[in-house]
Every structure is written in structure tokens, then in C-alpha cells.
Amino acid sequence: MSASAEKAAEGDTVTASTETARPVTPGPVAVVLKGYPRLSETFIAQELLGLQQRGLAFEIVSLRHPTDRAAHPVHAAIAAPVRYLPEYLYQEPLRVLRSWWKARRLPGYRAARATWWRDVRRDPTPNRVRRFGQACVLAAELDPAIRHLYAHFLHTPSSVARYAAIMSRRSWSASAHAKDIWTTPGWEKREKLADLAWAVTCTAVGRDHLAALAPDPGRVDLLYHGLDLTDFPPPAERPARDGSDPADPVVIASVGRAVAKKGYDDLLAALAALPADLHWRFVHIGGGGLIKALREQARALGIADRITWSGAQPRAAVLAALAAGDLFVLASKIAGDGDRDGLPNVLMEAQAAGLAAVATRVAAIPELIEDGVTGVLVPPEDPSALAAALEVVARDPARRRALGAAGRERVRTAFGHDAGLDRLAARFGLGDSPRRAAGGRAGLADVA
């Protein structure tokens, strides 16, 4: 039985799916995030600021409290109120109980419960139970003026948004990225894509995958995140290091979480394979659960004294590291559970800073980098090929300058964020409303 048929069996009104993205009534929106603010999700914060500047009123709903010790300046510029749902239901039992009591009287509660029960039978996990409880809180507490929910990531945030939207008969949409696309079960993606009004995703490969699962391909749109290039002035001339001077080594930079899909184990193996007469230093920025294992690997390979592990850093520190580097590397791969990158923003940021980029030919990275023209691509999980590419680029400052300039121009012309933000704003019914001046603020109070 289809999702729509099961809803009809529960006695709820069913809205027939259209063959394209369904319109959203203009008005304030609830943006559902897994956690907020997060240092590793600058692209989301930049999107929210851009929507704020275009006049969208929204509230941020976070499933988790922040764990990072710092935030980026862009977070301070976002004026929207933030609502934190109970991260674990037992932590706020009275709030959950009150919300459930109110939610069960909403017109779509029975349909939402039936949808959740169908899901939990196929995914009998505590996570699935928690998402329904969070959805009850969200549906019960949302301002009635908010008639649309927008979730970043197609897995857990979209589950909460979907259940809450069904309960309260609101519309909802989603922005899909990487892990959520490739590790969410096919049945779940199909049913969510059938229920939502529209979806956007940040890579062509992700768009094609989701469009094939949607009731109609037109419901899923490609929308690159892009960059606000005002953060990236023309880069200063970099020293012409070629790795021949042990007192002035080539600086190899990378920014990314220490997780399997980022391939830092392969990168360390490649660095260890570089010739002895090539002098280099590696600077890594990012947190992640594999940091300890990577440090141990570096010690075992005998290269620990050439590596700086900086941990998670605010944006200013990231930009400073890019400005100080000679080349950028990202050794992404497909992890054992299917997780993979989409189009990593850090690659666009490195190229916007004028750095030559060496990366792997995986996921959507070839959508940004043309091998030998705007960067260098090598096969994933091939430390020997990666080492060979790093050596060539490290020894040749002129080649780095040329690759860096071409990469920067590619980002400037094809990955500026304004066009994508204008299209996204139109999805929310803002039409051709002019962009507000930089720093412009729109909150729920603006529409009260």
C-alpha cells in the first residue's frame, strides 16, 4: 500500500502529488537542523544568512544543542530565534508529555502516527522513537503563523519535519547533502520524496540519484551552495617554495572532519611516501572521532613531527590557514557504510583563496575540479597516485600559481552563491523580492 493510500485509510485528507515541485505559501518558515550552530556546517549558516537578507522570516529548530566551543561570525549575523527540541526524550519528560497531549489533538496526528509506525517497523531503533517524540514537541510548540518546515539533511531532521508536518497539516521540504543521501534506506528516501513539496541538493550526482527515486524528477532541484566571495579578496603573492629547503618546507593544508570518508589515512600514507629530499609540512584543521587513530598512524609512519593537528577552528582561523598554505589536499573516498562527500565546501574555499587543489575523483568533486586545469584529481584510495600528484605540485610553484588562479576563476564564475540563493528564496514564495543590504535581518517579529 502506498503512503498516500495508508493516509487515506487513516481517515485523513490526502493531497494528490503533482508532477513537479509543489508551491509553498509565502510566510515564515521553521528550519529544522540536526545541530546549531556547528563549525563544520558553515554552508548552512551562509544559506540562512542569505535567506534572511532576502527577507525570509524563519525560526531555527535544532535537534541537538551545540558541542563546538566557538562559532563563526556568520552565526552572530543570523537574527532568527533558535528552539532546541529535547535531545533525548527522558531529559524533558513533562515537556514531551504536554506536547504529545496537544499533538494528539491535531488534525493529522493519526496519519503521522501511522507513518511513524510503518517506519519504526522497518527501522526499530531508539533513534526512530526519539524522532517521533521530537516531532510531537515541534508540532505542538510551533507558532501557527509558520506553515512550512524546511529540513537540512534527508535523514533525521527530515523525519522530524515530516512527522510534524503531517500532524499539523503543514507543507515541508528538504535540502539533501551527502551522508544523508547515500546512507538513508531507499524505501525511506522514496517515501519522503513523495511527501515533501520539493527538495534541493548540492551536487548533480546527488540530484540524479534522488530524482530517480522521486515521483517526478522535477521535484528535486540541483542547487550548489556556492560561496560568498566577499570573504576572499585577491590572494597575496605566495612564496615560491619548492620543497628543496628544509628550513622553508612546502605547506600542505587540509580542512575536514577526521572521519572515514575524508580519507586521511590514505593521505598520511601518501605523505609518508614522498621522497626524502622533498621538505613539507602538513596542517590539518578539523575535529572528528578518528583524530587519535590518525595521530598514532602518523607516529608509526615516522612523520608525526611534520604535522600540525589544529582541531576544529572558527572561520577566521580557517581562512588564515588557507592564506598561509602552498597547496590544498583532500583525499575523499566512499566509506564502508556508503557515506561519501557531496561537493566539499572546503575545496571551493581553498580555490577561492587561490590555492592549488589536489583531490580525489569521487562523488561530486569532478563537478568542481577539471583535472590538470583547475586542480589535480587522482583515484580514491590510491596513496601512491596521491603521493605522485603531491610531489609534482609541491615541486613546481609556477604550476601551483596557474592551478590556483584557474581554480579561483572557476569558483568565481560558476559557484558564487547569489544565484542559488535567489532560486532558493523563490522556492519559499519570495519571488523576485530584492536582496536586503548585507547584514539585513528578518525574524518572526518582522511578520507579526
pLDDT tens per residue, range 411-436: 988 888 888 899 999 999 886 544 44
CA distance 254 to 341: 15
pLDDT score at 363: 86
Number of other residues whose CB lies within 10 A of the CB of residue 277: 9
pLDDT beyond 60 at 181 = yes
CA distance 401 to 298: 29
Residues 110 and 205 in one domain: yes
pLDDT score at 445: 35
Burial of 115 (0-12, 13-18, 19+ CB in 10 A): buried
CA distance 356 to 30: 39
Q: What is the rounded radius of gyration, in angstroms, for the C-alpha atoms of the chain? A: 23
pLDDT score at 432: 53
pLDDT beyond 60 at 441 = no
pLDDT score at 23: 66
Residues 357 and 433 in one domain: no
pLDDT beyond 80 at 22 = no
Burial of 180 (0-12, 13-18, 19+ CB in 10 A): buried
Residue 245: what residue type?
D
> What is the per-residue pLDDT across 215-269, written as a single tens digit (0 to 9) for each?
999 999 998 887 878 878 888 889 999 999 999 999 999 999 999 999 999 999 9
pLDDT beyond 60 at 408 = yes
Number of independent structural domains in the chain: 2
pLDDT score at 17: 37
Residues 164 and 81 in one domain: yes
Domain boundaries, position 111:
3-225+417-447
Residues 210 and 344 in one domain: no
pLDDT score at 2: 34
Residues 392 and 268 in one domain: yes
pLDDT beyond 90 at 332 = yes
CA distance 38 to 186: 28
Predicted TM-score (pTM) of this structure: 0.75
pLDDT score at 229: 82
Q: What is the CATH number of the domain that holds 192?
A: 3.40.50.2000
* Contact (Cβ atoms closer than 8 angstroms) between residue 137 and residue 91: no
Residues 144 and 291 in one domain: no
